[in-house]
Chain A
Amino acid sequence: QKEVEQNSGPLSVPEGAIASLNCTYSDRVSQSFFWYRQYSGKSPELIMSIYSNGDKEDGRFTAQLNKASQYVSLLIRDSQPSDSATYLCAPRGTGRRALTFGSGTRLQVQP
């Protein structure tokens, strides 16, 4: 089992819709979770951090964490074509040297 699993996509949604991106992780003691956005040909950019169970909202973005199910998701409301990118999930494991990244989900927002 991979440490971090994401559906590679592409996930295609129409403009204005809600995009739902999901991530499961194997390390039960992961305490922190990060979502990165990576545009084609660019570097990953941190967009959300979540540390406790429940929801965290930041503008059009909501991160949801369920530690019991080892599941974290990112919802993007009112999706825009500019949201088209690959989204990387990165849980922080206890005693780890660095973040472990998923392979990412490619999101396409259709105008």
Chain B
Amino acid sequence: NAGVTQTPKFQVLKTGQSMTLQCAQDMNHNSMYWYRQDPGMGLRLIYYSASEGTTDKGEVPNGYNVSRLNKREFSLRLESAAPSQTSVYFCASSVYGGGDEQYFGPGTRLTVT
């Protein structure tokens, strides 16, 4: 089992460019999450998907969109990147939502110049 995988590991974007961060899990989990982590700010929830076919906003959704492609995959899209979106992005999954034990992917380190 690979657990939760994310691609890419690193990315540099120019302001205004778009990109999609990919996440996949092979643990047959129902719920998936996207967080960002900034120094001193802890982990902040961007979007989550309680189950296949559903998505909902978290604490900091502005500037992002998500797609729950199927039970395994949950992608995060930045339509027009801004320097404020420079961060480390983590995908996580859990058997059920609502704060069940979450397992994290290795992260994507994104820099927007």
Q: What is the interface of chain A, defined by CB distance below 8 A to chain B?
A: 8, 32, 34, 42-46, 49, 88, 90, 92-93, 95-104
B-side interface residues toward A, CB under 8 Å? 33, 40-43, 45, 48, 50, 56, 58, 90, 97-107
> What B residues does A46 contact at CB under 8 A?
101-103
Smallest beta-carbon distance A96→chain B, Å: 5
Question: Separation in Å of the A47 CB from the closest CB of chain B?
Answer: 11
- Please, how many angstroms separate the alpha-carbon atoms of A34 and B92 in the complex? 15
Q: A32-B99, A44-B104, A92-B99 are in contact. Are A98 and B40 (CB under 8 A)?
A: no
Residues on A with C-beta less than 8 A from B43 are 44, 88, 101
Q: Is the CB of A43 within 8 A of B105?
A: yes
Residue contact A95 to B101, C-beta cutoff 8 Å: no
In the assembled complex, the Cα of A101 lies from the Cα of B56 at a distance in Å of 19
- By the criterion CB–CB under 8 Å, are A43 and B42 in contact? no
| A98 in contact with B102 given A43-B90, A43-B107 (CB within 8 Å) | yes
**What are 9 of the A-B contact pairs (CB < 8 Å)?**
A8-B40, A45-B104, A95-B98, A96-B99, A97-B58, A98-B48, A98-B98, A98-B99, A104-B42
Assuming the A-B contacts A32-B99, A92-B98, are A97 and B48 also in contact, with contact meaning beta carbons closer than 8 angstroms in the complex?
yes
A43-B104, A44-B90, A92-B100 known, 6 other contacts, Cβ within 8 Å: A88-B43, A96-B98, A97-B48, A98-B45, A98-B99, A101-B43
B60–chain A nearest beta-carbon distance, Å = 12
Report which residue of B98, B103, B106 has the largest number of chain A beta carbons within 10 angstroms of its beta carbon: B98
- The chain B residue sitting closest to A30, CB to CB, is B99
Nearest chain A CB to B53's CB is how many angstroms away? 16
